[in-house]
């Protein structure tokens, strides 16, 4: 994730514009339809969003290459169906934030409610606080990071993708029917049926290390363990030389 | 008629009044309105309308080729029937279903299976589907074929191992207790979900549930401002319709959400009885599925077969014959429904009510909440 910092190129406020108008204005800015300043660096325009506190289903379906900086906590289903954008939220998120995300990078500096990242199809959702129950439910691709603790049933109905949990997890962690991977640093109250907790392989350490750096999560990859379906683990174990040993020369 | 619909079959149509002269309606309007807030099922200029009070709820698209799916859907949809399905179910064309004009119902499942924003925005109605079935072994109900249709959305799924239903006999599914979307803590959050779907799309929002969950879901759907409720029933709809009537009677204001019945197999008489008991539309899955799966495909005559073998052509193609068959069946069903309504002196579906049906057993009439013999005599 690239950093969203410095002064904003544009400022939009929910106090002055309705939600559809904000979306239209963002699309217009991305297309260069505004006469205001456009960054010379070639980076997507940085748009400050004000007055978003408590807005339910705010900033949905943003599918333009823009950087958004949102101040305040967002309501349920905010930032759903987004792609291509880079969003930083200085606040919390409600239930179902980042629903069906595909290709966007979103960071919440606070906590998130239930089922953050539900149905994710790609992209990155990072929550720097804690998250509620059913984190990443039904996600099929993408990466989901939580720096703190998560509630119960994290990863339920997960079909693919990666969840990284920096703290502890509630009961029934994981989904044995999917192919997703969960990296857990703390303790899980219990695992879902058919899930096992195993150590990291070398390639997992490399991959997780990169993911942690990108998500600005402190800590070493080796502090984490993998939670994967038992069937997947057995498949791995049955391969005599399943470990990929890349040749660095 | 089967014993599964014994209660429905026990209901009779009321005879026309004999105390005064009644002129039959000149025109029978079978259109159904959808998308009006606080639906009554009346066709209105402001909302969208269906040509017939019929819908094809859950076609097994994955069991037919995309070409066959599109062909049958076009024929059925042209008759004014709403069809359930996401674009990837029905076609493999890159442009999806942008060119279709028939009404489409898109399912928003708890696990977002097959769901896309583009589908939602092109739909006539969105079905907020509550509840999910799992196989007897606990797996998801979707088959490998369904997964593969949705594969470009669920890329890794296709490459990885299937979640459920390897080749061979599909596993039986077990309905689970009511399951919400995972972001809900309880049904009160339906309001936010409905608002979100309305913000994303102009489509009507219909909440669906199993018959057993009607008592919980209907009040929540009314509170959430949904346009209606689709109730999945096993066979006899009388119990669900009577519970719907009793729940609606307790609701504040004049809200009377539309109720659509999914499941069962109906003839015209049964359909009109359902409408009289409050249903706005009924599903035609049993009939339409046979067309999709080619079970009732028209056969060529020996002369036609001989001509085809010789490279010639006599009469219509198989596709044209199928189109004729579908049009004829749906038109005759619509005509039969209209005929019964005419005999009841009713010109519009919304005018049908419990006063148009009777039950033979007076004691059960009160329980059923429909006009019984004692009152009608």
The C-alpha of A167 sits at a distance from chain B's nearest C-alpha, in angstroms, of 21
CA–CA distance from A86 to each of A2, A44, A79, A111, B54 (Å)?
8, 9, 11, 18, 45
A12 vs A49: CA distance, rounded Å: 5
User: Strand B54-56 and strand B82-84: pairing?
Assistant: parallel
pLDDT at A55 over 70: yes
Select the residue of A57, A96, A177 nearest B164 (Cβ to Cβ): A177
Please give the pLDDT value at position B319: 85
- For B289-329, the pLDDT digits (tens) are 999 998 877 777 777 777 777 777 677 788 888 999 999 99
Among A115, A156, A160, select the one facing B156 at the smallest CB separation: A160
∠A190-A194-A197 over CA atoms, to 5°?
Answer: 55
Nearest residue of chain B to residue A76 (CA atoms): B192
Supply the pLDDT for residue A92.
Answer: 97
A236 interaction partners in chain B (CB closer than 8 Å): none
Closest CA to B48 of B69, B62, B33: B33
User: Is the per-residue pLDDT at A187 higher than 60?
Assistant: yes
Q: What angle is formed at CA B188 by the lines to CA B238 and CA A191, rounded to 5 degrees?
A: 100
The architecture of the domain spanning A10-240 is 3 Solenoid (2.160)
Residue of chain B with shortest Cα separation from A231: B161
Looking at residue A112, what is its pLDDT?
A: 97
Average pLDDT rounded to a whole number, residues A104-113: 96
Q: What is the CA radius of gyration of chain A?
A: 19
* Facing residue for B112 by CB, picked from A76, A77, A119: A119
Q: What is the pLDDT of residue B36?
A: 53
- CB-nearest to A57 from B156, B157, B195 is B195
Q: Which residues of B touch A119 (CB under 8 A)?
A: 111-112, 115
- Separation CA B117–CA B331 (nearest Å): 34
Interface contact flag, B161 A80, Cβ < 8 Å = no
Q: Does residue A31 or residue B163 have the better pLDDT?
A: A31
**Where is B261: in which H helix or E strand?**
strand B258-262
Q: pLDDT 10s digit of each residue in chain B, 377 long? A: 445 777 888 888 888 777 888 788 889 999 988 865 444 444 444 467 888 999 999 999 989 998 999 999 999 999 999 999 998 888 877 777 778 889 999 999 888 888 889 999 999 999 999 876 555 555 556 777 777 777 654 444 333 333 443 434 444 444 444 467 889 988 999 999 999 999 999 999 999 998 888 999 999 999 899 999 999 998 789 889 989 988 888 877 666 789 999 988 889 999 999 999 999 999 999 999 999 998 877 777 777 777 777 777 677 788 888 999 999 999 999 999 999 999 999 999 988 988 888 876 644 444 555 554 333 33
Place of tokens 């500096």: A109
CB A125 within 8 A of CB A117: yes
For residue B78, what pLDDT is reported? 94
Query: A100 and chain B: CB distance < 8 Å anywhere?
Result: yes
* Selection from B170, B175, B172 nearest residue B232 by Cα: B175
Q: What is the band of A124 on the pLDDT scale with cuts at 50, 70, 90? A: very high
Q: What is the pLDDT of residues A216-236, one digit of tens each?
A: 888 899 999 999 999 888 888
Look at A19 and B199 and tell me if their CB atoms are within 8 Å: yes
Cβ(A108)–Cβ(A126) below 8 Å: yes
When comparing pLDDT for B297 and A79, which is higher? A79
Instruction: In whole angstroms, give the CA distance from residue A68 to residue A89.
Output: 8
Q: Which domains does chain B have, with CATH numbers?
A: 3-141+176-372 (3.20.20.70)
Q: CA Rg, chain B, in Å?
A: 22
Of B306 and A168, more confident: A168
Comparing CB atoms, the residue among A80, A100, A177 nearest residue B140 is A177
A51: burial class by Cβ within 10 Å (0-12, 13-18, 19+)?
A: middle
ipTM (interface predicted TM): 0.88
pLDDT in the model for residue B47: 62
Note whether B153 and A140 are within 8 A (CB). Answer: yes
What is the rounded CA–CA span in Å between residue B167 and residue B144? 8
Testing the interface with B: which of A135, A159, A170, A174 to mutate, by most B Cβ within 10 A? A159
The pLDDT tens digits of the residues spanning A144-154 come to 999 999 999 99
Q: Are strands B11-13 and B357-359 parallel, antiparallel or unpaired?
A: antiparallel
Q: Which residue has the higher pLDDT, A135 or A179?
A: A135
pLDDT at residue A21, as a whole number: 93
A11 three-class SS: strand
Task: Give B115's contacts in chain A (Cβ within 8 Å).
Answer: 100, 119
What pLDDT score was predicted for residue B12? 87
pLDDT attached to residue B136: 54
Q: Chain B residues within 8 A (CB-CB) of chain A? A: 110-113, 115, 117, 138-140, 153-157, 160-161, 163-164, 181-185, 189, 192-193, 195-196, 199-200
Measure the CA angle with vertex B150, ends B123 and A100; round to 5°. 70
Nearest partner of B67 among B337, B355, B322, judged by Cα = B322
Residue B253's pLDDT is: 66
Q: Look at residues B351, B274, B355 and name the one whose alpha carbon lies nearest to residue B25.
A: B351
């Amino acid at each position: 994730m690239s950093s969203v910092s410095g002064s904003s190129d544009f400022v939009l406020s929910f106090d002055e514009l309705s939600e559809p108008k904000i979306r239209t204005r963002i699309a217009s800015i991305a297309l260069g339809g505004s006469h205001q300043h456009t960054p010379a660096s070639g980076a997507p325009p940085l748009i400050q969003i004000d007055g978003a506190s408590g807005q339910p289903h705010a900033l949905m379906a943003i599918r333009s290459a823009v950087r958004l900086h949102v101040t305040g906590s967002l309501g349920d289903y905010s930032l759903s169906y987004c792609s291509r954008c880079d969003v930083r939220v200085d606040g919390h998120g409600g239930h179902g934030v980042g629903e069906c995300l595909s290709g966007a990078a979103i960071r919440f500096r606070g906590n998130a409610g239930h089922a953050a990242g539900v149905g994710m199809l790609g992209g990155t959702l990072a929550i720097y606080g804690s998250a509620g129950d059913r984190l990443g439910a039904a996600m099929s691709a993408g990466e989901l990071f939580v720096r703190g603790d998560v509630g119960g049933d994290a990863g339920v109905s997960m079909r693919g993708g990666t969840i990284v949990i920096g703290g502890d997890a509630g009961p029934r962690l994981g989904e044995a029917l999917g192919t997703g991977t969960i990296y857990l640093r703390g303790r899980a109250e219990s695992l879902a049926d058919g899930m096992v907790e195993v150590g990291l392989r070398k390639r997992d350490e490399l991959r997780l290390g990169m993911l942690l750096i990108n998500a600005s999560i402190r800590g070493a990859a080796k502090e984490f363990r993998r939670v994967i379906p038992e069937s997947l683990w057995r498949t791995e174990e049955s391969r005599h030389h399943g470990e990929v040993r890349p040749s660095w020369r | 008629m089967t014993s599964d619909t014994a209660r429905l079959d026990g209901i009779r149509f009321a005879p026309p009044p004999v105390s005064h002269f009644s002129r039959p309606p000149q025109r029978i309007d079978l259109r159904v309105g959808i998308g009006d807030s606080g639906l009554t099922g009346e066709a209105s200029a402001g909302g969208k309308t269906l040509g017939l009070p019929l819908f094809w709820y859950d076609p097994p698209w994955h069991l037919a080729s995309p070409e066959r799916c599109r062909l049958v859907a076009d024929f059925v949809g042209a008759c004014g029937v709403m069809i359930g399905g996401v674009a990837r179910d029905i076609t493999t064309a890159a442009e999806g279903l942008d060119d279709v004009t028939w009404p489409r119902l898109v399912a928003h499942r708890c696990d977002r299976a097959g769901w896309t924003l583009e589908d939602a925005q092109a739909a006539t109605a969105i079905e907020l589907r509550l509840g999910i079935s799992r196989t007897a072994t606990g797996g998801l109900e979707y088959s490998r074929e369904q997964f593969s249709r949705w594969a470009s959305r669920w890329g890794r799924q296709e490459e990885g191992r299937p979640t459920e239903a390897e080749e061979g006999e599909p596993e039986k599914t077990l309905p689970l207790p009511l399951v919400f979307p995972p972001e809900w803590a309880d049904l009160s959050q339906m309001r936010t979900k409905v608002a979100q779907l309305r913000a994303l799309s102009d489509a009507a929002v219909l909440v669906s549930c199993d018959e057993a969950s009607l008592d919980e879901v209907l009040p929540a759907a009314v509170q959430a401002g949904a346009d209606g409720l689709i109730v999945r029933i096993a066979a006899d709809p009388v119990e669900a319709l009577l519970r719907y009537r009793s729940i609606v009677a307790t609701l504040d204001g004049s809200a009377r959400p539309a109720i659509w019945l999914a499941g069962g197999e109906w003839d015209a008489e049964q359909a009109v009885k359902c409408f009289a008991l409050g249903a706005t539309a009924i599903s035609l899955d049993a009939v339409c599925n046979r067309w999709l799966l080619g079970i009732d495909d028209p056969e060529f005559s020996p002369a036609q077969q001989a001509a085809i073998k010789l490279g010639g052509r006599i009469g219509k193609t198989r596709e044209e014959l199928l189109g004729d068959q579908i049009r004829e069946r749906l038109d005759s069903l619509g005509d039969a429904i209209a005929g019964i309504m005419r005999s009841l002196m009713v010109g519009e579906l919304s005018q049908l009510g419990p006063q148009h049906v009777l039950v033979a057993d007076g004691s059960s009439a009160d329980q059923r909440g429909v006009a019984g013999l004692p009152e009608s005599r």
